[in-house]
Amino acid sequence: MGIEDEVGGNAVKVYKAMKEMGFLSEEKMGTAERITQTSRLPKTMVMNALQELQTKGLARRKVREKAAGYYLLR
């Protein structure tokens, strides 16, 4: 059972983009803007996909000074 079975198409694209960029831990998290540039999806779709990944327990959001950071949990 892969990630494709758990989440929708846009969330899979965002997941793969985050994995490709190495956003795999709290020390190496990235912003939604960077994920938007890499995944080549509109920002609203990226935000919805990130929300879906968080709901499924695949990603985590960390509130920071200027912009929130996102990283994968598995």
For 56-67, the pLDDT digits (tens) are 999 999 999 999
pLDDT at 70: 97
The residue with tokens 């960077």 is 34
CB 67 within 8 A of CB 33: yes
Q: In order of start, what are the domains of the chain with their CATH numbers?
A: 3-72 (1.10.10.10)
Integer Cα distance of 24 and 34 in angstroms: 14
- For the residues 14-23, what does the mean pLDDT come to? 96
Do residues 41 and 49 lie in contact, with contact meaning Cβ atoms separated by under 8 Å? yes
- Which value, in Å, is the radius of gyration of the alpha carbons in the chain? 11
pLDDT, mean of residues 4-24: 94
Which pLDDT score is estimated for 1?
A: 56
